[in-house]
Chain A
Amino acid sequence: MVAAAVLSPAFRDAFAGAPVAPRVVPLRAMSDDDQLLSRAVAGDTEAFRLVYERHRVDVARLVYRMLGAKSDLDDVVQEVFVQVYRSLKDFRGQSKFSTWLHRVTVNVVLMHRRAARSRPAYAEEAPSDVSGDEDAPLPDEEADRRERMRAFARLLERLPEKKRVVFILHELEGIAPVEIAKIVGAPVLTVRTRLFYARREIEAMLDDEPALAALKPMWKGDGP
């Protein structure tokens, strides 16, 4: 059974200018982050360890979505936190730590991708793994879903870099355009424009992926 189709008003709102409430809390609530960060800046590595353990899953997820492959995931996550450690003293608390952490992550991933582009590769590794469900779908369903995710990752890969970044941050990570603007260092209006065109380009590419195109009739016909 196919679940009810869910429109994404947040996406439309993103370009329409209405305020968007993040649907996903991208990084966990950080009530005592400030205290931990203060200790970490002062050289308390145990405090930094707690910050690291608190955010590593979220960073790994964002890195994975932006990299489009898992092969370098650990290396990039490692680099993100090393850069965070080195730059902690520059974090003034003027923005949320999560925003700052996202900015570091995005920058490290982009640098990594640029470095990787200069290296020849036999085959671009598409994500071959997706997380499991507690509901344990049937093997066929699981296989179909994995293929859809691989196809979707390939579409993301085809997006121009700036559009891909804002699309992932907003649509997958659930970050509001105002925050994304701080992360990527662009005006909010520019972020919304990129989101609009990213969405339009992805929609245009959907039929290029058989795994996604094949779902069209089923989804069109199987409403709630």
Chain B
Amino acid sequence: MSERLDRIVDEARDHLRPDGRGDGDDWSRVDQRVFERISRDVVVAKEDRFRVARMNYRGSPRLWGGLAAVAAAAALAFVVHGPRSSSVAGVAGVNDAPRGDSTSVASVAPIMPIMPGAAGSPAPASNGLAQGSTLSGHEGDGEVRIAGAPVEPGRGIAVGDRVETTSAHAFFQTPRAGGPGSVSWSLEEQTKIDVRRTEGALVLALAVGAVEAQVTPVPNGEAFALDVGPTRVAVHGTHLRVARAGEHVTVDLSEGVVSIGAPPRVGSTYGTLVSAPAHIEFDASSVEQTLRVVRDAAAVRPPISLTPASAALASQGATPPADHASLAPHHSAPPPSHAAEPAPHPAPAVADDPASTVTAAVRACAGKHVNPADVRVTVSSKLSMQVGDDGYVHAARFDPPLAPAAQDCAARVIYKTRFPQAGPVEIPIEIAP
């Protein structure tokens, strides 16, 4: 080997190493993800064994019940100890699909094939909860309808109900508010959902609009799941908002962990685990190919209070607290119709020229994240955005994609820019060196 190559190789041996991935560096994020996935494997293996057992003892439901109890106990008992890793109990994935092999793409756990017929009402991992919800209040001029009829607070929901809002923001609460597995959830304006399951876990199917939910963590299984087309967003304990516009889905995860994948025939959703904070986008019909996660708190829509302002006021007496504005949604809710209610959170003004603002931000981010040693070429990309009724961007996509770091950087501006009109917006952007 030439002297020059020898020297370069010697230098590379010592210095071609990743920063932050040596001894003494913080590995906690990798540790957590590795052992979350491994714990899921352990539970899958146990479920497989129990499935075999069930086949062998199909005529003995009592025995099967006992085995299931042992499985649950085993899942709970699987706790990985370590100085920088958290417990992974309860983040269980169960899937009948083949387990991932060496060909699976990193960071994306195997996702079951989409089975439209199976997506009707698959049972999430049972946690013994009864999750029938009650309408606790609504805000806005419009109506909340269940099965086509306007309803008032106190009305419960049942499996098969279609719940829809017009120009109103509806708030629901499952029993045992604040207890493990309790769910506070809300429907934004112009939202339609179908109630698919209320026993074991609350499962809703989002047809259009947006659902925001806060779920008190359960020790095992899933307390809440939202089906969006053939894809399920399953929740162990979290605060999240899921919005659907056609097939495009955005999830803003401000707390906890969700699993995104196809609904399982039984057990927990075996999909991609995403932890907060994260802004997630995907197409419901092809989540595996389109899933994009922005792990940046700045890109996540701020969570709203899931207590209706009127209910909060009633519980606190007639005089609203000084900081009552925090009870109002930060975005999307229209001004309350009566004077006693708090003023809505002041929304940022519509940008003078939002398209230019976004374009400039994208160019700045692309310029900042390009390697100076790269060959300079002019790149054209089309930024397609879906602007919601509140003027905020609900979904954004670059075609072709930019470098991940540049996209993440641009997302911080895109999701904070307010547009004057709702609907799709497309901005062709040319990025020159």
Contact = CB atoms under 8 A, between A and B. Distances in A.
B22 A57 contact: yes
B381 A45 contact: no
A77 interface: yes
Contact of B22 (A131, A145, A148, A150): A131
Interface in B354-393: 366, 370-371, 373-374, 379, 381
Given A82-B37, A82-B41, A149-B16, A8 B1 contact: yes
A45 B38 contact: yes
A92 interface: no
B171 to A, nearest CB: 38
B105 A172 contact: no
Interface residues of A, number: 77
Contact of B38 (A5, A48, A108): A48
B366 A24 contact: no
Contacts of B34: 52, 78, 81-82
Nearest to B379: A122
A125 to B, nearest CB: 6
A60 B104 CA distance: 18
Interface residues of B, number: 62
B338 interface: no
Interface string B1-30: 111111111111111111111110001011
Interface in A207-224: 212, 215-216, 219-220
Contacts of B19: 70, 129-132
A126 interface: yes
B103 A64 contact: no
Interface in A164-200: 171-172, 174, 199
A61 B373 contact: no
Given A8-B6, A122-B400, A129-B18, A152 B12 contact: yes
Given A82-B34, A83-B102, A5 B15 contact: no
Contacts of B12: 149, 152, 171-172
25 contacts: A7-B3, A8-B5, A46-B81, A57-B23, A70-B19, A76-B106, A78-B33, A79-B105, A79-B107, A82-B41, A86-B99, A108-B106, A121-B403, A122-B366, A122-B402, A122-B406, A124-B374, A129-B19, A132-B19, A145-B11, A151-B373, A152-B12, A171-B9, A206-B4, A215-B7
Interface of B: 1-23, 27, 29-31, 33-35, 37-39, 41-42, 78, 80-82, 85, 99-100, 102-107, 366, 370-371, 373-374, 379, 381, 400-406
